[in-house]
Structure 1
Amino acid sequence: MTSTSTSSAYRLPDAPLSGASQPGQEHAFAHQLLEMLVIPAFVLDARCRVMVWNKACARLTGVPAYEVLGTSEHWRSFYDSPRATLADLVIQDRTDEIDQLYPDQPARYQASGMLCAQNWCDMPRAGRRRFLVADASPIFDAAGKLIAVVETLRDLTDEKTAQLALEQLATRDGLTGLANRRCFDDTLQAEWMRALRQQQPLSLLMVDVDNFKAYNDAHGHLGGDECLKRIALAVAGEMRANDLVARYGGEEFAVILPNESLKGAAIVAERIRARVEQLQLPGRRAGCQHVTVSIGAATALPAPNTESSVLVATADAALYRAKHMGRNRISLPLAEQA
């Protein structure tokens, strides 16, 4: 395509928008301004068809204007599956869906009708995932009729990545890469409140490495660290997507199992115990060939005016019994074992 045809692909004819009262020359000037903006921007008409797709937007998405102008296929530039952009929500009066489409990133709706939101976009053609901040502004004619929506985009991927890295430092254990104690406490409280609202069970496993002091004394701190890292991987390998495993402290790990019964928690606990034993890390204590773990399990159905600390205390007591009964085993609350 020649440079002349490429340039014309970014601009509409010099004619007024349907229903607009402004001269076509003014519209052409406005379109030219949009084209030259260094900020990525596109414009949809009242039928959600692309009217303008500026050069910065083409650079960001990897999609040239001629591929999308006059179509409603602009979503393909940002997502792998059909999904409304902010401009679509404004045009179709679907702003009540904003929280559903952007559940993790708060969106703003201004009295002027402008929507502001941010989220990760797949960017299929660009071949990279980007974190974009979007602003969608409606355009009305003299009679107050919506005739178009302008959506501008800001690429804040570097800033978001740096923020996530800092958050990870604050919530991750430096040795094992698991969630740290702070993250565990916050997550347990959040899951406790969720279980209370949804009236679902919440299970907890407390996992402790048996005779770790003897192992550490025999292999040194570096050997002990390597042991903990391998056990952390073994425990994490048994987790579902919504579970959380954390380094609770020292050689102790904690596993939060949302919406899991005690029977299900016991099954997970036994899989963890067996998986650690199968690592065959050499033990350094009489009668102990390999490093093992003891696990205490507990489950609660949260009720009003109860605290998550009750669940921790119950799991801790079960862990203590597993240790007392000879280690390398799981233990349930006494009421369940009776």
Structure 2
Amino acid sequence: MNRPHPTFQPILHTTEFPHAKEQHGFALNMLQSLVIPTFVIDIDGKVILWNAACERLTGVLAREVLGTDNHWQAFYEERRPTLADLVIEGSRRPVDADASLESQNWCEMPRVGRRCFLAADASPIRDASGKLLAVVETLRDVTDEKRAQIALEQLATRDGLTGLANRRCFDDTLHAEWQRALRQQQPLSLLMVDVDNFKQYNDAYGHLGGDECLQRIATAVANEMRTNDLVARYGGEEFAVILPNQSLKGAAIVAERIRCRVEQLHLPNLGSQPHVVTVSIGAATALPSHDTEPSQLVATADSALYRAKHMGRNRISLPNTDLPGKA
């Protein structure tokens, strides 16, 4: 078991530099008094400095880690290298010998009981001959900035009413998935989902009731999705579902599940038959090629949706094949 050292161990050897001891003492005091969380590990990965700011950030006291290689416990639940450890590891490979590293990532911070998004910089400390003596890592807690960035990204890509992806996100995702399907030669399916007789619902229950209806349908549709599928509010009472690597048969199965789930919400709509809210769904599948465009997939699914509406609503429609739902 490693025994913590009660004092800081010199980084520079006084026999190598006439004024090394004095310089080292100054450097030590400077690092200890920095308001920036800082720690230093030697070439064996043992902690030789853990300043007060690092204690405040991590909740781990210097006496708990000095002389040990347990500094990872301040940041993670399971053992994994810190950025400083990676610098030492890289120094053993000549190609990376002079590398400093920087990164930003989420850390669990077990002692303080919350996740933090930390920006870290790690740099080697060398003697005059270039020999690696230690690595210093500085940390910045940028959790608030990261959360603000996430919130802004969500505002840009999420629909404010339903929380689903918005039209912009749908367009970007469809293009990206089209390119991926093209590279991997996989099918790409699309569902266009429209709420039946929504105008009558709004007339009967008002816009607030209409908003709640859309929110409940959005949740119902999202609950039928795989992790890599995307549900978006396409506009008004219309939703779009991107199904990567899904055949037309598979898309039809998903569509029917969505249709049934919405009907089973039993949202009353006296202006329709049956007297509950239902959806019509158009499905389409493409095997992307250099001669086709994502807009063609949208147009095909739209046409199928139009057929489903024309045939009486509350059903799904496929290109050249119609699969009626419950009438």
Q: Structure 2 CA distance, aligned partners of 1:312 and 1:92?
A: 51
Match among 79, 82, 104 for residue 82 of structure 1: 79
Please give the residue correspondences for 1:58-97 in structure 2 after superposition, counting only pairs within 5 Å. 58-93=55-90
Q: Deviations over 1:84-108 (max 9, x none)?
A: 2222222111899xxxxxxxxxxxx
Amino acid at match of 1:132: L
Q: CA separation of 1:240/1:17 partners in 2, compared to 1, >3 Å: closer, same or farther?
A: farther
Q: Given that residues 277 and 291 in structure 1 are in contact (C-alpha distance below 8 angstroms), is that contact kept between their aligned partners in structure 2?
A: yes
Q: Structure 1 CA distance, aligned partners of 2:216 and 2:177?
A: 27
Amino acid at match of 1:12: F
Q: CA deviation at 1:218?
A: 1.6
Q: CA deviation at 1:111?
A: 10
Q: Structure 2 CA distance, aligned partners of 1:322 and 1:288?
A: 16
Unpaired stretches in structure 1, ≥5 consecutive residues = 1-5, 97-109
Instruction: Report the number of matched residues.
Output: 317
Q: Given that residues 14 and 20 in structure 2 are in contact (C-alpha distance below 8 angstroms), is that contact kept between their aligned partners in structure 1?
A: no
Amino acid at match of 1:82: R
Q: Given that residues 49 and 69 in structure 1 are in contact (C-alpha distance below 8 angstroms), is that contact kept between their aligned partners in structure 2?
A: yes
Query: Residue 92 of structure 1 aligns to a residue in which SS?
Result: helix
Match among 260, 267, 285 for residue 271 of structure 2: 285
Q: Percent identity?
A: 70
Q: Structure 2 CA distance, aligned partners of 1:188 and 1:20?
A: 63
Q: CA separation of 1:166/1:331 partners in 2, compared to 1, >3 Å: closer, same or farther?
A: same
Residues 1:47 and 2:44 are matched in the alignment: yes
Query: 1:334 maps to what in 2?
Result: 320
Residues 1:306 and 2:292 are matched in the alignment: yes
Match among 217, 225, 246 for residue 232 of structure 2: 246
Q: Structure 1 CA distance, aligned partners of 2:291 and 2:49?
A: 56
Q: Deviations over 1:246-304 (max 9, x none)?
A: 11000000112223333322222221111101100012225322100111222223223
Q: CA separation of 1:286/1:90 partners in 2, compared to 1, >3 Å: closer, same or farther?
A: closer
Q: Given that residues 261 and 299 in structure 1 are in contact (C-alpha distance below 8 angstroms), is that contact kept between their aligned partners in structure 2?
A: yes
Q: CA deviation at 1:153?
A: 0.8
Residues 1:262 and 2:248 are matched in the alignment: yes
Q: Structure 2 CA distance, aligned partners of 1:95 and 1:252?
A: 58
Unpaired stretches in structure 2, ≥5 consecutive residues = none
Match among 1, 9, 12 for residue 16 of structure 1: 12
Amino acid at match of 1:13: Q
Q: Deviations over 1:301-325 (max 9, x none)?
A: 3223532212212221221222222
Q: Structure 2 CA distance, aligned partners of 1:45 and 1:15?
A: 8
Amino acid at match of 2:270: R
Q: Structure 2 CA distance, aligned partners of 1:66 and 1:20?
A: 29
Bigger radius of gyration, 1 or 2? Answer: 2
Q: CA separation of 1:127/1:216 partners in 2, compared to 1, >3 Å: closer, same or farther?
A: same
Deviates more, 1:328-337 or 1:56-65: 328-337
Q: Structure 2 CA distance, aligned partners of 1:43 and 1:20?
A: 21
Query: 1:183 maps to what in 2?
Result: 169
Q: Given that residues 17 and 147 in structure 1 are in contact (C-alpha distance below 8 angstroms), is that contact kept between their aligned partners in structure 2?
A: no
Q: Structure 1 CA distance, aligned partners of 2:178 and 2:78?
A: 34
Q: Structure 2 CA distance, aligned partners of 1:19 and 1:215?
A: 87
> What stretches of structure 1 move > 6 A for 4+ residues in a row?
none
Q: Given that residues 15 and 24 in structure 1 are in contact (C-alpha distance below 8 angstroms), is that contact kept between their aligned partners in structure 2?
A: no
Query: 1:211 maps to what in 2?
Result: 197
Query: Residue 292 of structure 2 aligns to a residue in which SS?
Result: coil
Amino acid at match of 1:28: G
Q: CA deviation at 1:335?
A: 7.0
Q: Structure 2 CA distance, aligned partners of 1:84 and 1:230?
A: 45
Q: Deviations over 1:145-189 (max 9, x none)?
A: 222111111111111212222222222111111111111111211
Amino acid at match of 2:101: L
Query: 1:101 maps to what in 2?
Result: none
